[in-house]
């Protein structure tokens, strides 16, 4: 008997050709690469006119966990994902279909920090050796003599909207590139040039941090307990009764007066 474990169900949506932008009438195939074939993965999408529609019912041709377009259209632009009958979904991908003459081929899935990413500015009918300009978030970042641009060792700061332009042919739509951390191929920093820390220095640092945090907390707690205790007993720790010199003098005169007014009985 099959037992369903929601956290064990994962699927990865792949797109072929691997790109987030396509020309109108291109052939495109999408597939759910799944860890568990019994999960019943299907492809769904949201577009400007549809919400959560399923491949094979309203769009595309379904074949198991795959879906294909013989001729993709501009209205097929949207967000696509894999979903099982139990509910979990894969990473969503955004596909853009243009009726223009220039597209930017960029990673359709998130890229890992430290990896190299190559962008390709492509025209539909003209030779592929035309120079292209590349933009990130509206700012020019490369105006080279090639249709390719490589971002080496990408980091989170490289996330953004990218597009390209080929003079005389037009501009591509914009596509978002996502960068995720923790590349398995990324080399950790070497110890060269880094300050060494001895175990004793590490202990001193921990002790100092403990004292800085604990002492103010201990003092404030002690003061609060003290104030609360005096409030309960009705004593005020900050008020003391002291006789002024004038009061003391008055007390002395009163004593003298008592002595002077002693009544003698005959």
pLDDT band with cut points at 50, 70 and 90 for residue 205: very low
167 and 207 housed in the same domain? no
| pLDDT of residue 2 exceeding 50 | no
pLDDT tens column, 34-65: 665 556 788 999 999 999 999 998 899 998 88
253 part of a folded domain: no
Is residue 195, in this structure, part of any structural domain at all?
no
The CATH number of residue 119's host domain is: 2.60.40.10
Residue 23 has pLDDT above 60, yes or no: yes
164-193 average pLDDT score: 72
Other Cβ atoms less than 10 A from the Cβ of 198: the count is 8
C-alpha 141/C-alpha 171 separation (Å) is 15
pLDDT tens-digit readout, 219-232 = 777 777 676 666 66
Q: Is the pLDDT of residue 206 over 70?
A: no
Domain that holds residue 108: 101-184
- In this structure, the answer to whether residues 139 and 79 fall within a common structural domain is no
Segment 163-192 mean pLDDT: 74
Residue 260 in domain: no
Residue 261, preceding peptide bond in cis (omega within 30° of 0): no
Nearest to 122 by CA among 103, 94, 96: 103
Do residues 155 and 116 make contact, with C-beta atoms less than 8 angstroms apart?
no
Q: How does pLDDT run across 151-175, given as a tens digit for each residue?
A: 999 999 999 999 999 988 999 999 9
pLDDT number for residue 171: 95
| Residue 145 counted as domain residue | yes
Return phi, psi of residue 64, to 5°: 70, -120
Residue 258 within any structural domain of the chain: no
Record the pTM: 0.62
Dump pLDDT digits (tens) for 67-105: 999 999 999 999 999 988 777 788 899 999 999 999 999
Is residue 115 domain-shared with residue 66, that is, in the same domain?
no
For residue 261, what pLDDT is reported?
41
Q: Give the Cα separation of 125 and 122 in Å (integer).
A: 9
């Amino acid at each position: 008997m099959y037992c369903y474990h929601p956290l064990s169900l994962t699927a990865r949506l792949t797109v072929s050709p691997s790109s987030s932008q396509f020309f109108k009438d291109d052939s495109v195939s999408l597939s759910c690469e799944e860890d568990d074939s019994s999960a019943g993965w299907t492809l769904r999408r949201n577009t400007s006119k549809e919400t959560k529609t399923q491949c094979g019912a309203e769009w595309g041709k379904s074949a198991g966990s795959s879906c294909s377009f013989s001729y993709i259209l501009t209205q097929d632009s949207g967000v696509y994902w894999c979903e099982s009958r139990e509910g979990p979904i894969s990473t969503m991908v955004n596909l853009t279909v243009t009726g223009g003459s220039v597209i930017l081929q960029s990673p359709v899935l998130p890229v890992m920090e430290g990896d190299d990413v190559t962008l390709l500015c492509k025209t539909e009918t003209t030779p592929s050796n035309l120079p292209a300009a590349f933009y990130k978030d509206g700012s020019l970042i490369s105006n080279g003599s090639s249709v390719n641009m490589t971002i080496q060792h990408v980091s989170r700061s490289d996330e953004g909207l990218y597009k390209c332009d080929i003079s005389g042919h037009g501009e591509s739509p914009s596509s978002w590139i996502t960068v995720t951390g923790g590349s398995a191929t990324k080399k950790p920093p070497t110890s060269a040039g880094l300050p060494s820390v001895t175990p004793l220095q590490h202990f001193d640092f921990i002790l100092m941090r403990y004292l800085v945090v604990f002492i103010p907390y201990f003092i404030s707690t002690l003061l609060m307990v003290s104030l609360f205790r005096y409030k309960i007993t009705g004593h005020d720790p900050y008020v003391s009764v002291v006789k002024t010199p004038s009061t003391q003098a008055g007390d002395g005169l009163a004593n003298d007066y008592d002595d002077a007014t002693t009544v003698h009985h005959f």
